[in-house]
Structure 1
Amino acid sequence: MTDETQNAAKLIVVYGRVSTSNQENEGTIETQLSAVREFAQKNNYTIVQEYLDDGWSGDSIVRPALDQLRMDAKKKIWEGVLMYDPDRLARRYSYQELVMDELREAGIEVIFVTVSAPKNSEDKILHGVRGLFAEYERAKITERFRLGKIRKVKEGHVLTTEAPYGYTYIRKQEGKHGYYEINPTEAKIVKMIFSWVANDGLTIRKVVRKLQELAIKPQRSKRGVWSTSTLTTLLRNKAYIGEAHWGSSYSVVPEKPLKVQQYKKIKKTSRRMKPEEEWIASKIPVPVIIDRELFSRVREQLKTNFALCDRNKKNQYLLAGKIKCICGRTRGGEGPQHGKHLYYRCNDRNYSFPLSPTCAQKGINARITDKLVWDKIAGLMSSPELLAKQVERWMSTKRAKAKSSFGDIAIVEKEISKLKDQEERYNKAYGAALFTIEKLKEYTDPIRARMAALESQIIKAGQEADRINVDLLPTKTETKIFTREAGKALKNLNFETRRAIVLNTVEKVVGTQQQLQVSGYIPLTLNHVEYKTSYRYCWASQRR
């Protein structure tokens, strides 16, 4: 059988990826597909499907099309994967090797247009060295860009893609650096906003309402209305007094994201401010719109508004931060008539402001809600029968998890084996004098750290299985003593103590005017001690 006949019988798929930030330099997915299709035609491959990740960074291995390709590879419905270049698979060499090893183990051939796929140990080493040098070169380019940006702002030049409201950014032209130019229409509105706060004493929300009444829209907004956070940033921006800044914040992964998504093109979507003394450039000269005296008065008025805000008056909400609406938003405490009536209201009205709220759920009485939830917690902690029922359910869940963990351990052990193989390839490359001992250490240290972390997972899994021991659970006698002492201690507690117990036992409450659904856990003592709300030894807990 000839090679041509073999190729004609081979069914392959195509994978393509383009990062939105680099599309102009690297070309679009259409450009990649054109080259890939031409290569497939010359080699008599039959393309049966195309997996495309358009706008996804190669620094992350979690991509929808790539995940689908990896799952389909296990079904063995095609024989090979064709890509333009290894960079399209992933930016990091370790990610490339991980996916390529996974495909090879499934019996899938990996083919590239620009380079030959490794076929033996020597090819793998050369492919690895090529990937490492490419990764190193990208790191050097990134560092050069970073240093270039720092040098530019240190020299007093503006570095941005979009100017603050009130300015127009004039891009670099004929060797002249980009700069801010005052936008007369927007600058007039900026002065109005500062005047409303400093001279009329308006709060941020009143400014939002006034802008809405005057049909003045912000630069960017899906809803077409100003937000309180946008105005707060505007009123604190020193660019308006002629002092623009750069490097005042850094990106971080959000701790409590508004949307939990399986696939995220950008992981670090939140920003955290640095102390002003750590800003890279804090006084970049730009045209002045607001005088310093007015700017200072606005800052003072914002502090006054915050101190006098009705929402800052402290009322006692037992479930604050724990209670949610069925729409998914949190419920916040509100005390109309100076706290005479307390309610938990859906915060959708705050997110929708100044537009009408999208959630139609009404507020629920906070005092009644707090009493109902607290009575349930106290009743559970005072009832040996209810606690015994929860312990039994906890045991059943732990046993089920222990059974499923054996499969997880097998996956972790397989990954450790792959990492050991990767470390061995680096050692062989070092033995062939392809790089220095310092570079070897730089390449292998992260691998060893990853292996140590995975081995730690296996150890923890074994320890978790060992902990499922009936002897470690409280006896019926201990449970009865615990509930009796808890019943005594839970009577006549002050608000702060009850609040502390709620924070430690309740995960969330989803409430409407008709019903409350409480999720949480009750700590159980390992060896019975006298129950005290301020100090106790707690055993592992289970959510219900």
Structure 2
Amino acid sequence: MTTCAVYARVSTDEQAEKYGLAAQAHELRALAATKGYRVVDEFLDDGHSGATLDRPALARLRDAVRAGAIEVVLAHDPDRLSRKLAHQLLLLEELEARSRVEFLTTTRAATPEGGLLLNIKGVVAEYERLKIVERTTRGKREKARRGLVVASYPYGYRPDPASPGRLVVHEEEASVVRLIHAWLIEEGKTTRKIVDELRRLGVPPSRAGRRWGPTQVRRILGSDRYTGRVFYNRDAIGAHGRRRRPATEWIEVAIPAIVTQETHAAAKAVLARNRAAYVGRPARFTYMLRGLLRCGACGARYVSCPQHGRRCYRCHGHDRFALTAGCRAPMISANVAEAEVWTTVADALRNPATLRAGVEAWAAQRGANDVDLRARVEALARKLRGVEGKEKRLLDLYVEDGIAKGEVAARLRALTREREGLRGDLGRAEAQVAAHDADGGRLAALDRWAAKARRGIDRLDAAGRQKVLQHLVDEIVVGADRSLKITGILPTETDQSLLSLPS
């Protein structure tokens, strides 16, 4: 008796429009009985798109056919194998090299007309898939425009049973979200330290059977959805990966907020500082100023650089493999620089009046910078609206007055380049404003945090001192004469004569 295998597939979007998985399998078993075939296995892909070949049951079917265990493959219709004609032809060629493929809805004839009919059905199936995608996307977009959540609910929320498409706060998980933000912003814990605390306390993760990890914590801290909004149509996922769409195409959906905008901005700012300080291969020695030093000549970061057993810092622009001439900024001794910076910071911590004066000066400078940053954002937004208006007028002229197509295309390309450049500049400026707003949150807890640091300042090891510096210092600019200028909560300039590299 001829052995055969049954293959059936449904995607999420098709379940309501075509036969279900069980119905397909039942009809194919009946077809096998009518033809006198013996069904040796069933390969069922539930909820997998026909636009891709990456399907678990299809992969197992292909392996079984290659092994010679199956003589005939039965499928309900060619579009069950794939909704792309190229994929259909590829699969048929591969499967029929070792077996025979038969369909319930289509009689295959070994004639040119039979091949033409099969190809026509493949084209129709691909067209139908695109129409399903179009209808589904249009429905989701309209749902988002009505203020309803399209995607699955994030950690900290649950669907509102009284109002489909809305979310309500899950208080137990929301308290965990707030606690994670507080650990990062107020206590200065890294994401790995936060994970350790969550596991130690036995906090249930978002999915049963999983454990808390750094990636999940970073997603919670970096996501703006917890400020009370989610966006539909913000990202485009294609063959070349994920890309961010223009902000004008986003659809904002309001949801209950768990943290404030200021808390979210503060968390992003702390994550950025931690990334500068901790990313990369762990150093052989502890470098207290890692991620804080910047070259005053070229603007590059200073990196740790052991020299014959001595800890040093050097400008990252001083690279012998660079195509241009390397930066000639001096190397500085880690021991001397760290001791001088720590003495300055520790003296300020021990003297609340000095610390408060530094904070007030920093806040005043912050206020001046705030005006400049917001003015730049407004100017860039105005320029962007002007360029978009020019594009629209150019297209209207092309339609109404019949301007030459080549001339329109050239001018549109130039406007597109200008528009994309402005959008990039605007995005970076808005990020600077968000980071700038986040710095304001550092003032609220500074007195409490400084009082706590003063009690144990003399007992801190190198790692503890590094943590203190990360809280109080934004960056330290290294001058050509090895002077150090500290910017942040404690703006000051150290004695340059103490920072020369020991010979």
TM value normalised by structure 2: 0.49
TM value normalised by structure 1: 0.46
